[in-house]
Amino acid sequence: MKRYFPLVFAALVLAGCEVVPPAPTERIEVIERGETRRNASQAPRDATSETARVTREVAFPEAEYARLDKQGTAVVSGRLTLSGRPVTNAGISVAPVTRYAAEAAEKALAGIAVEPADPRARAYTHTTRTDGGGHFRVTGIPAGEFYVSGAGADPVTGDPRVVIRQISLGNGQHREVTLSR
């Protein structure tokens, strides 16, 4: 289980994942961590120590976050499944789309652990864990563009997986999101 900690941790601390710039219309995109070739300077997939984490290249963008609300009235609920089976006690993160988190998301999806997010970014991220059936519910989310991410071990292969969906939320809206691969 320890070898999956960097990926689960990365999904939890993501403070937005701008892999694709936000569009004016609602869009959902599923991104799965795939097999990616890494050069020798990048951290190995099964790294478990803080020393194996790569340093962020993008500095925390204070002005970008200053325009965002931390709390709101929207709700996101759903289920995390991998290979058709529910993932229990998995970390779920709902974070605003920002440049800062794009870097972390891209590396997490490639299996590379990055240093923890700046505490200022984590203040905008809503987190929870899945229940015994892989279900989750996150409340108090402001309106805007968000990434919903979940991570866990694939129950069939044992490989760590990260799944991210991009969603748009309006004030008071409830969105049902399926995170699956």
- Tell me the CATH number at 109: 2.60.40.1120
Mean pLDDT of 172-179: 97
| Residue 40 lies in domain | 2-180
Q: What b/e readout covers 121-131, taking b as 16+ CB neighbours within 10 angstroms? A: bbebbbbbebe
Question: How far is residue 15's CA from residue 123's CA, in Å, rounded to a whole number?
Answer: 8
93, 165 contact by CB (below 8 A): no
pLDDT at 122: 92
Of 1 and 33, the one with more pLDDT: 1
Is 90 exceeded by the pLDDT of residue 3? no
pLDDT at 172: 97
Is 70 exceeded by the pLDDT of residue 39? no
Total structural domains within the chain? 1
Is 90 exceeded by the pLDDT of residue 4? no
The widest CA-to-CA distance across the chain, in whole angstroms, is 47
| Percent of the residues in the chain that have a pLDDT greater than 90, as a whole number | 54
Using pLDDT thresholds of 50, 70 and 90, give the confidence band for residue 138. very high
Based on the number of CB atoms within 10 Å of its own CB, is 23 exposed (0-12), middle (13-18) or buried (19 or more)?
exposed
Mean pLDDT of 134-154: 95
**Cβ within 8 Å of residue 46, ≥6 positions away:** 3
Using pLDDT thresholds of 50, 70 and 90, give the confidence band for residue 177. very high
Mean pLDDT of 42-71: 75
